[in-house]
A and B are shown apart, each in its own frame.
Chain A
Amino acid sequence: MKQSNWFSGSVLGMGYLFLYLPIITLVIFSFNESQMVTLWTGFSFKWYGELLKDEEILLATWLSLKIAFFTASASAILGAFAAFVLVRYKNFFGRPLFNGMITAPLVMPEIVIGLSLLLFMVSLQKATGWPQRGAMTIWVGHTLVGMAYATVSIRARLQELNLSLEEAAMNLGCRPGKVFLLITLPLIAQSIVSAWLLTFTVSLDDVILSAFLSGPGSTTLPLVVFSRARLGLNPEVNAIATVIILVVSIGVIAASVYMSRSEKKMQREMAEAYRDPSAVKK
């Protein structure tokens, strides 16, 4: 048994080293004094100072944050609807198509989705004069993919939901809409919050859809990072990367700690609620 512990420990250790090595080097070398990104010469905050003076990066960051906010909000709402449809409406016309269209943006090569949306937008513009390519069209693309991510994570939660609470409310005369707002929504709220966070980061990170759908003056942060990374290594990219990694990590860890706490609280309350013998089914 001792030997297998040692074995699994080293498998996990190597795996995590592989996953984290690039992130660690990125952070360390953001504090490097030298213009040469990979040669350590001394500790300095120099590149963070440069970052604050770099208008291109600042403007792009602001635009990306705005797009990510609206993407996450729209994706969470559409994803909650779609998850509800897939879990609760077992039979309706076009269900296989609906299911396929939810999964497709998740796995289809992004370059195909970007191209198809660009061609659609251009055709639409040719016919109606609207829309201009810019933040709006990027938002549509991001929300298409974000909605798919949101649906998957909310759907998983909805599937394991115990129907008896909703049935009880219905039996007591609650209307379906009210049941959803008072019972179902609070029970899946956590998964909606995590779907919001996930789609926010997905949008903040996207290169390909943004490249296809951006217009003049709508350059997002990943587009700036990508165009600099293509040319070579750039110490400012390391600095902005460290800022993003820090913010996302803190956000994800804080959210997951908060959620696991409220999950435990909810489970206690549920256990309390089901203790009444007449409420226990089995």
Chain B
Amino acid sequence: MKILARVKNIDWGRTTVLGVPFVWLILFFLIPFLIIFKISVSEMQVSRVPFKDIVTYSDGALNLSLKLGNYVFLAQDSLYILTFISSLKYAFLTTLFCLLIGYPFALCMARAKPEHRATLMMLVILPFWTSFLLRIYAWKGILTSNGILNNALLSMGVINEPLALINTPFSLTLGMVYAYLPFMIFPLYNNLVKQDNRFIEAAMDLGATPWIAFWKVTFPLSMSGILAGSLLVFIPAVGEFVIPELLGGPDTLMIGRVLWDEMFSNNDWPMASSVAVVLILIVIVPFVILNHHQEKRGADGLA
């Protein structure tokens, strides 16, 4: 009877609302995430399932075999180390340029007349909603050697022969900045638009020039927006695959591409998993900071 009473006391509404997304996330996010670690230390084999179990049972003995060779290889191979450094470099450059372009843009949006702000925001959201893949493809058409930009410059007589724009560090960085710019603008705009104008007015009344008022008041107050935007750009940028594949040449080294090649060209799933584990270790610290920030600030930090 006691058990029956307890079952009756469970708040079924609450349990469902909490349980359904929780179980979904554990099943399809947490468990798969842990499986990467498991596969990364398993032996490769040539078969439809190209990895061996790490725990085997034979002759009454339970054998646990952890192959750490992949990690040793990653730590010693200079190409892998260069790739990781190069990915960090491009992610950093992307974040920096997104901030340099996104900050003045978000500031101008936030300082626009209130009745215009919704439209200005809409105009940023619209390209963000239309296919990311197609917009990156479009840059390929603009930058390629017989592309739109080169044709325009040639016909205007600015240049005599086509510039090598595509498949360079320039085109890769441009594409990444283009794709991730909205992720910088949204949190910055949300921060800037909520700032109390009276602080600026007070600073100006006390004799500050607009420039000084900006650096002493607006900018320090926007730090949390800068932090959120930078993390939202940096974390996914480190592991970007599509943009380097379409706009970066074979020389632009990115972890995402290496992982993809290990997976689909070499069919070396354990190696791909090891690369993924290192990638996770790189982004875990910025991710924890973002998550903490976001929990503190509510959804403002992201949306």
List A residues at the B interface (Cβ < 8 Å).
4, 8, 11-12, 15-16, 18-23, 25-26, 29, 36-39, 78, 81-82, 84-85, 89, 92, 94, 96-113, 115-117, 119-120, 122-123, 126, 140, 144, 147, 152-153, 155-156, 159, 176-177, 180, 197-198, 201, 204-205, 207-208, 212, 222, 225-226, 229-230, 233, 237-238, 241, 244-245, 248-249, 252-253, 256, 260
What chain A residues lie within 8 Å of B33 (beta carbons)? 116
- In the complex, what distance in Å separates the CA atom of A197 from the CA atom of B129? 9
- In the complex, what distance in Å separates the CA atom of A208 from the CA atom of B239? 11
Q: Is B272 an interface residue, CB under 8 A from the partner? A: yes
What chain B residues lie within 8 Å of A205 (beta carbons)? 131-133
What chain B residues lie within 8 Å of A260 (beta carbons)? 118
Asked if A103 and B35 sit within 8 Å, CB to CB, the answer is: no
Asked if B131 and A241 sit within 8 Å, CB to CB, the answer is: yes
Q: Is B138 an interface residue, CB under 8 A from the partner? A: yes
Q: Is B28 an interface residue, CB under 8 A from the partner? A: yes
Task: Find the A residue at minimum CB distance from B277.
Answer: A112
Task: Find the A residue at minimum CB distance from B11.
Answer: A176
Asked if A144 and B137 sit within 8 Å, CB to CB, the answer is: no
Q: Tell me how far the C-beta of A258 lies from the nearest C-beta in chain B, rounded to whole angstroms.
A: 13
Q: Is B268 an interface residue, CB under 8 A from the partner? A: no
User: B21 touches which one: A18, A36, A78 (CB < 8 A)?
Assistant: A78
Q: Tell me how far the C-beta of B244 lies from the nearest C-beta in chain A, rounded to whole angstroms.
A: 11
Task: Find the A residue at minimum CB distance from B272.
Answer: A115
Asked if A106 and B134 sit within 8 Å, CB to CB, the answer is: no
What chain A residues lie within 8 Å of B279 (beta carbons)? 109, 111-112
- In the complex, what distance in Å separates the CA atom of A256 from the CA atom of B263? 41
Q: What are 13 A-B residue pairs whose CB atoms fall within 8 Å in the complex?
A: A8-B108, A15-B101, A26-B141, A38-B141, A38-B144, A38-B148, A85-B22, A98-B21, A110-B241, A112-B279, A115-B276, A159-B299, A180-B13
- In the complex, what distance in Å separates the CA atom of A11 from the CA atom of B106? 10
Which residues, 61 to 114 on B, are CB-close (under 8 Å) to A? 101, 104-105, 108-109, 111-112
Q: Tell me how far the C-beta of B273 lies from the nearest C-beta in chain A, rounded to whole angstroms.
A: 7
Asked if B133 and A22 sit within 8 Å, CB to CB, the answer is: no
Binds A, one of B1-9, B216-224, B229-237: B229-237
User: A99 touches which one: B101, B111, B291 (CB < 8 A)?
Assistant: B291
Size range of the interface on B? 35 or more
Q: Tell me how far the C-beta of A181 lies from the nearest C-beta in chain B, rounded to whole angstroms.
A: 11
Asked if B236 and A85 sit within 8 Å, CB to CB, the answer is: no
What chain A residues lie within 8 Å of B14 (beta carbons)? 89
Q: Knowing A21-B142, A98-B22, A107-B231 touch, does A241 contact B36 (C-beta < 8 A)?
A: no
Grouping DSSP codes into helix (H, G, I), strand (E, B) and loop, the B interface class, with mixed when no group exceeds half, is helix
User: B283 touches which one: A16, A39, A108 (CB < 8 A)?
Assistant: A108
Asked if B18 and A237 sit within 8 Å, CB to CB, the answer is: no
User: B49 touches which one: A21, A126, A197, A245 (CB < 8 A)?
Assistant: A126
Task: Find the A residue at minimum CB distance from B29.
Answer: A101
Q: Is B146 an interface residue, CB under 8 A from the partner? A: yes
What chain B residues lie within 8 Å of A126 (beta carbons)? 49
- In the complex, what distance in Å separates the CA atom of A235 from the CA atom of B33? 39
Q: Tell me how far the C-beta of A212 lies from the nearest C-beta in chain B, rounded to whole angstroms.
A: 8
What chain A residues lie within 8 Å of B240 (beta carbons)? 109
Q: Tell me how far the C-beta of A38 lies from the nearest C-beta in chain B, rounded to whole angstroms.
A: 5
Top-6 shortest CB links A-B:
A109-B239, A22-B138, A120-B32, A116-B32, A8-B108, A156-B299
List B residues at the A interface (Cβ < 8 Å).
13-14, 16-18, 20-22, 24-26, 28-33, 35-36, 39, 49, 101, 104-105, 108-109, 111-112, 118, 120, 122-127, 129-135, 137-142, 144, 146-148, 151, 178, 181, 210, 231-232, 235-236, 238-242, 245-246, 256, 259-260, 263, 269, 272-273, 276, 279-280, 283, 287, 290-291, 294-295, 298-300, 302-303
What chain B residues lie within 8 Å of A94 (beta carbons)? 22
Task: Find the A residue at minimum CB distance from B50.
Answer: A122
What chain A residues lie within 8 Å of B133 (beta carbons)? 205, 207, 222, 225-226, 229
Asked if B245 and A230 sit within 8 Å, CB to CB, the answer is: yes
Asked if B276 and A108 sit within 8 Å, CB to CB, the answer is: no
- In the complex, what distance in Å separates the CA atom of A123 from the CA atom of B16? 28
Q: Knowing A229-B137, A241-B137 touch, does A39 contact B287 (C-beta < 8 A)?
A: no
Task: Find the B residue at minimum CB distance from A26.
Answer: B138
Given contacts A15-B101, A78-B20, A119-B269, 19 further A-B pairs with CB under 8 A are A15-B105, A18-B178, A22-B142, A25-B138, A37-B141, A96-B295, A100-B291, A107-B283, A109-B239, A112-B239, A116-B29, A140-B28, A153-B303, A155-B303, A201-B130, A241-B131, A245-B134, A249-B126, A252-B126
Asked if A104 and B303 sit within 8 Å, CB to CB, the answer is: no
Asked if B105 and A12 sit within 8 Å, CB to CB, the answer is: yes
What chain B residues lie within 8 Å of A115 (beta carbons)? 36, 259, 263, 272-273, 276
Asked if B259 and A111 sit within 8 Å, CB to CB, the answer is: yes
What chain A residues lie within 8 Å of B290 (beta carbons)? 103, 107
Q: Knowing A84-B17, A106-B302 touch, does A241 contact B239 (C-beta < 8 A)?
A: no
